[in-house]
Amino acid sequence: MSVPEEPKVRTDPASLAVRERAAAEGISTIWDRYQALTPQCRLGELGICCTICHLGPCNLGRPGTKRGQVGVCGATVDTIVARRLARDMAAGVAAHSDHGRAVAHLLLLAARDEAPGYEIRDELKLRALAAELGVASDGRPARAVAEDVALACLAQFGQQEGEVVFARRAPEAQQETWRKLGIFPRGIDREVVDVMHRTNMGTDADYKNLILAGIRASLADGWGGSMIATDLQDVLFGTPKPLRAQINLGVLRPDAVNLVIHGHEPLLAEAVVAAAADPELLALAREYGAETINVCGICCTANEVLMRRGVPVAGNFLQQELALITGAVDAMVVDVQCIMPGLVEVAACFHTEILTTSPKARIPGVTHLEFHEDNAPVAARALVRGGGGGNPPPAATGPGSRSPTTRWTRWPGSPPRSSTGSWAAPTAAPTGR
């Protein structure tokens, strides 16, 4: 009997090179952890293991087997799969829409002059949104309009009746389809609660009804929370325009303090980018032997500062550990979503400091410096300075001059931290355009 050939991994040369280094030194990455869990749970993959209530967990039999096809309560395979899918939808809506809530709250603070460092950068779009939301703007100062726009957007989260305003941007025929199916979203938070309620034990057992509720919640995000985030970020940070920038692991520089921003919300990233350009911090970096402070992005946050500030992207979700394994990253500042807990183990092999900033996303074993919009410039400067232990590099001596075991002089006031890495310094990875 022939053994099936392992599928080839298609990825870019920079990632392959760093993965080979990780393998040679026994540093575990997402691919190793996936392999260690292969084959993954078939019941989980099919969604037929129910943990909704404490009569279970109920591992239902796969189709065609003799094992029971209903849970202890009598829920069928269709019901159990639909409940799980709807809950996954609701969790995604909650996380993604909360991003929009955070941006609306920031706009409110900025309008009230309670968020230093943030300002209205696209007044034209602000006034267009005001007209769409029914907010008076003629003859009113931008801050007054911004306050009412922010409040109107925040109201979309708690709204109990009616329709999410921005969903009316969809084609009329599409809106009518939603209304006929009863899935036109009423309020963002309401739809999340609705799904969590109906998927609880002993409530909705109709798989079609469950899926439609999940779709309604998803529409509340796509046409509510997500759209609020997109529009209000343009108001606060400027509407993006086409630009040319660099991407991939090669944007990490051997002659600079490499600071990676990672996560989902640009509120923090925008402040960090501004702080990294501070003449005092740049002078401090040069004092410690670096040419500059090189801010790079990973994942969703990377795209936000790329399209508005031209900040280079060091990688995507799958490359976050690889960025650290280059040995070039001095600190990685994270906020929420898409952040692998595995970063902690990888960072422990190098001089890299992981800094968490959100009360919603703390990770054991790393430094937590909480970021609040009402003190953004000070907080961002602390993060760039390395308040948790970020290290400026020594004077560069060319590509590959950095060693992961090198313990450079810390930024002033930073606590010491041990290193367990021992492999040779990497060469610069290729840069794509």
For 195-207, the pLDDT digits (tens) are 999 999 999 999 9
What is the 3-state secondary structure of 286-305? HHCCCCCEEEEEEHHHHHHH
Crossing angle of the two packed helices 207-220 and 77-111, in degrees rounded to 10: 20
Task: Return the sign of the alpha-carbon dihedral for residues 190, 195, 198, 199.
Answer: negative
* Percentage, residues of the chain above pLDDT 70: 87
Query: CA-to-CA distance for 414 and 389, rounded, in angstroms?
Result: 5
Phi-psi category of residue 355: left, alpha or beta, with phi > 0 → left and psi -120 to 50 → alpha: beta
Query: CA-to-CA distance for 374 and 381, rounded, in angstroms?
Result: 14
Lowest mean pLDDT among 60-74, 128-142, 305-319: 60-74
Query: CA-to-CA distance for 133 and 293, rounded, in angstroms?
Result: 41
Query: CA-to-CA distance for 34 and 40, rounded, in angstroms?
Result: 8
pLDDT at residue 292 tops 60: yes
320 with 298: CB under 8 angstroms?
Answer: yes
Give tens-digit pLDDT for 106-157. 999 999 999 999 999 999 999 999 999 999 999 999 999 999 999 999 999 9
Nearest to 247 by CA among 299, 293, 291: 299
Global pTM value: 0.85
Q: 339: pLDDT confidence band, cut at 50, 70 and 90? A: very high
- The CATH code belonging to domain 77-237 is 1.20.1270.30
Query: CA-to-CA distance for 267 and 371, rounded, in angstroms?
Result: 10
How far, in Å, are 158, 192, 217, 295 from residue 9 at the CA level? 45, 37, 35, 29
Q: Where are the domains of the chain?
A: 77-237, 249-385
* Percentage, residues of the chain above pLDDT 90: 71
Query: CA-to-CA distance for 422 and 170, rounded, in angstroms?
Result: 56
Q: What fold does the segment set 249-385 form as a domain? A: Rossmann fold (3.40.50)
Q: Which two tokens stand for residue 429?
A: 């990875």
Q: What is the pLDDT of residue 40?
A: 84
In what helix (H) or strand (E) does residue 95 lie, and over which residues does it extend? helix 77-111
pLDDT at residue 69 tops 70: yes
Query: CA-to-CA distance for 128 and 169, rounded, in angstroms?
Result: 13
Query: CA-to-CA distance for 331 and 324, rounded, in angstroms?
Result: 9
Full DSSP string of 334-359: E-SSS--TTHHHHHTTSS-EEEE--T
Instruction: Report strand pairing: 313-315 vs 293-298.
Output: parallel
228 with 103: CB under 8 angstroms?
Answer: yes
Q: What is the pLDDT of residue 99?
A: 95
Q: What are phi and psi of 424, to 5 degrees?
A: -65, 155
104 vs 428: which has the higher pLDDT: 104
Query: CA-to-CA distance for 220 and 97, rounded, in angstroms?
Result: 8
Query: CA-to-CA distance for 57 and 351, rounded, in angstroms?
Result: 43
pLDDT at residue 415 tops 50: no
Q: What helix, strand, coil percent values describe the chain, rounded to 5?
A: 50, 10, 45
- Helix (H, G, I), strand (E, B), or coil: what is residue 7? coil
Q: Judge residue 369's burial from the number of C-beta atoms within 10 Å of its C-beta, 0-12 exposed, 13-18 middle, 19 or more buried.
A: middle
DSSP classification of residue 224: I
Q: Which two tokens stand for residue 318?
A: 């799958």
Half-sphere exposure of 138 (CA within 13 A, CB side): 1
Q: 408: pLDDT confidence band, cut at 50, 70 and 90? A: very low
| Residue count (the chain) | 433
Half-sphere exposure of 314 (CA within 13 A, CB side): 27
β-bridge mates for residue 333, sequence order:
261, 355
In what helix (H) or strand (E) does residue 260 lie, and over which residues does it extend? strand 257-263
Q: What are phi and psi of 268, to 5 degrees?
A: -70, -45
How far, in Å, are 38, 146, 189, 228, 417 from residue 166 at the CA level? 43, 17, 15, 8, 49
DSSP classification of residue 1: -
Q: Which two tokens stand for residue 158?
A: 């708690």
